[in-house]
Amino acid sequence: MKGFWHDAAEFFPILMSGVALTIVVTIGSLLLSTVLGLIWAMMRVSGIRVLSMLSASLINVIRGIPIIVLLFYLYFVMPDLGVTLSALQAAILGLGIAYSAYQAENFRAGIEAIDKGQIEAAQSIGMGWWLTMRRVVLPQAVRIVLPPYGNVMIMMLKDSSQASTITVAELALQGKLIASSTFKNTNVFTLVALMYLTMSIPLILLVRHFEKRAGKR
Amino acid sequence: MIELSDVHKSFGKVEVLKGITASVQKGEVVCIIGPSGSGKSTILRCINGLESYDRGEISVEGLKVDRDASSIVKVRTQVSMVFQRFNLFPHRTALENVIEGPLYVKRESHAQAFERGRALLARVGLAEKADVHPPQLSGGQQQRVAIARALAMQPKAILFDEPTSALDPELVGDVLGVMRKLADDGMTMVVVTHEMGFARDVADRVLFIDGGVIVEQGAAKALLNQPQHPRTQDFLRRVLHPL
């Protein structure tokens, strides 16, 4: 750990540029996975057999493929099919799709946890499926879903490092580049780990807050 | 205004309704009594399409009840329902519960919905609870909010599914009082209940149901005071004199 603070000061600006990309990848794929997950979950609980089966198989396919393979597919295979994505686009798309499966299962569990009486009450005042979802089920499901959603955020922050495998210069890749050119492995990777931890802690506190709120009810 | 003709309904292999034929006139209060599991609640749930039925026909104001048709929304806005376990929306205040239907289903203006909502809460004696969330209300208060929510749809009839069965005994009176006022105002009501006093004093007619069929029906006082059928006699004896 000799000269850690000296090295930290020197490498910090480069690593911060990696942090910026890490945040972009995390937020981008978080938004995408949320939208896709919500769509899969809605299809799943729609009561229309074709849609729910389609959604169930999609989720299983996505769940069954490692994130890294999904990323390679999007970045290296898609150009052969005529679709060229930038590394950043491929990373956000890949992580977004991969995590949409977990988001969908989480959302579905939240929706199905709502008392059936709530749905009947909504129906009995003339609400259709969509209005029932929007006004009655989803607002209540949010409270149940938020704590696991916060955990997914933390996992995504860490898994954004997998984007380094397709040349996205986020925090992990920047660290690796510095380490391999300076051989200061210990200092560099300690610094990288501390920076990930610094970003995770607010999220961990957020999850705790969500859990408290969900518990109160 | 509500017509049931030869309605059959099975849950899996169990036939719970075995040919129910009945009608409810406008302004009438009909109580449905009978042992649990006799199909009382299922009848109510079929009338507003929460449950489908297998055979026969149900119509409300001439409109056929079919839970898979788009016309079911029209039926439900005409026939409101009050549930045994209230089923208020816990994430909304009492007032918001009441105006939810008028605002989002009937698309009334905010001003009108709020004004009517407050008036309805006053009518059930809960004007001062408008901004309280349901979990902070007693069971009796919750059920009265639920009645206000049903009334807010300006229904032609209200179905009550054991509205006092989940209440502490001392709170039953408040809810029955509100229901009696409704009956006095001429509301058409179908009430599944175990409150024989209410049935005797408020109902016009009583149906006694057992095993999925109407065993006996007639004017409330006559049926409750001089039941003709042995099963009715037996049931009433057990309910009125449990010891």
Is B160's Cβ below 8 Å from some Cβ in A? Answer: no
Chain B hits for A140, CB-CB cut-off 8 Å, are: 89-91
Indicate the angle between helix axes B110-123 and B94-104, nearest 10 degrees. Answer: 130
Quote the pLDDT of residue A216. 63
Phi, then psi, of B210 in degrees rounded to 5: -150, 135
Chain B hits for A127, CB-CB cut-off 8 Å, are: 101, 104-105
Nearest to A118 among B76, B89, B152 (CB): B89
- Report CB contact under 8 Å: B105, A125: yes
Nearest CA of chain B to the CA of A42: how many Å? 19
Reported ipTM: 0.91
Is A47's Cβ below 8 Å from some Cβ in B? Answer: no
- Report CB contact under 8 Å: A125, B89: no
Q: Tens-of-pLDDT digits for all 243 residues of chain B?
A: 999 999 999 998 999 999 999 999 999 999 999 998 888 999 999 999 999 999 999 999 988 998 888 888 889 989 999 999 999 999 999 999 999 999 999 999 999 999 999 999 999 999 999 999 999 999 999 999 999 999 999 999 999 999 999 999 899 999 999 999 999 999 999 999 999 999 999 999 999 999 999 999 999 999 999 999 999 999 999 988 888
**pLDDT exceeds cutoff 70 at A214:** yes
Which residues, including other chains, have CB under 8 Å from residue A16's CB and lie 6 or more apart?
Answer: none
Quote the pLDDT of residue B198. 92
Is B162's Cβ below 8 Å from some Cβ in A? Answer: no
Quote the pLDDT of residue B176. 94
Task: Report the alpha-carbon distance of residue A203 to residue B148 in Å, rounded.
Answer: 43
pTM recorded for the entire structure: 0.84
Task: Report the alpha-carbon distance of residue B176 to residue B140 in Å, rounded.
Answer: 10
Chain A hits for B135, CB-CB cut-off 8 Å, are: 217
Chain B hits for A122, CB-CB cut-off 8 Å, are: 89
Is B89's Cβ below 8 Å from some Cβ in A? Answer: yes
Task: Report the alpha-carbon distance of residue B93 to residue A107 in Å, rounded.
Answer: 25
Nearest to B104 among A117, A121, A131 (CB): A131
**pLDDT exceeds cutoff 60 at A217:** no
Structure tokens given for B155: 């229904």
* A vs B: CB pairs below 8 A: 59
- Report CB contact under 8 Å: A121, B87: yes
Chain A hits for B101, CB-CB cut-off 8 Å, are: 125-127
A41-82 pLDDT per residue, tens: 999 998 899 999 999 999 999 999 999 999 999 999 999 999
Quote the pLDDT of residue A2. 64
**pLDDT exceeds cutoff 70 at A1:** no
Chain B hits for A131, CB-CB cut-off 8 Å, are: 104-105
Task: Report the alpha-carbon distance of residue A53 to residue B107 in Å, rounded.
Answer: 35
Is A118's Cβ below 8 Å from some Cβ in B? Answer: yes
Chain B hits for A126, CB-CB cut-off 8 Å, are: 73-74, 76-77, 101, 105-106, 153
Which residues, including other chains, have CB under 8 Å from residue A26's CB and lie 6 or more apart?
Answer: A153, A156, A157, A160
Which residues, including other chains, have CB under 8 Å from residue A38's CB and lie 6 or more apart?
Answer: A103, A104, A107
Nearest CA of chain B to the CA of A209: how many Å? 19
Nearest CA of chain B to the CA of A115: how many Å? 9
Is B122's Cβ below 8 Å from some Cβ in A? Answer: no
- Report CB contact under 8 Å: B153, A123: no
B124-161 pLDDT per residue, tens: 999 999 999 999 999 999 999 999 999 999 999 999 99
Structure tokens given for A208: 């705790």
A18-39 pLDDT per residue, tens: 999 999 999 999 999 999 999 9
Is A123's Cβ below 8 Å from some Cβ in B? Answer: yes
Task: Report the alpha-carbon distance of residue A189 to residue A172 in Å, rounded.
Answer: 9
Per the prediction, chain A carries an average pLDDT of 92
Which residues, including other chains, have CB under 8 Å from residue B138's CB and lie 6 or more apart?
Answer: B168, B171
Task: Report the alpha-carbon distance of residue B59 to residue B79 in Å, rounded.
Answer: 11
Is A202's Cβ below 8 Å from some Cβ in B? Answer: no
β-strand B14-24 against B213-219: which pairing, if any? unpaired
Nearest to A124 among B48, B91, B104 (CB): B48
Measured between CA atoms, the residue of chain B closest to residue A118 is B87
Best interface-test mutation with B: which of A114, A119, A124 has the largest number of B CBs within 10 A? A124
Chain B hits for A142, CB-CB cut-off 8 Å, are: none
End-to-end alpha carbon distance in chain B: 40
Phi, then psi, of A51 in degrees rounded to 5: -65, -45
Phi, then psi, of A47 in degrees rounded to 5: 85, 0
Nearest CA of chain A to the CA of B87: how many Å? 6
The CA angle A56-A57-A58, to the nearest 5 degrees, is 95
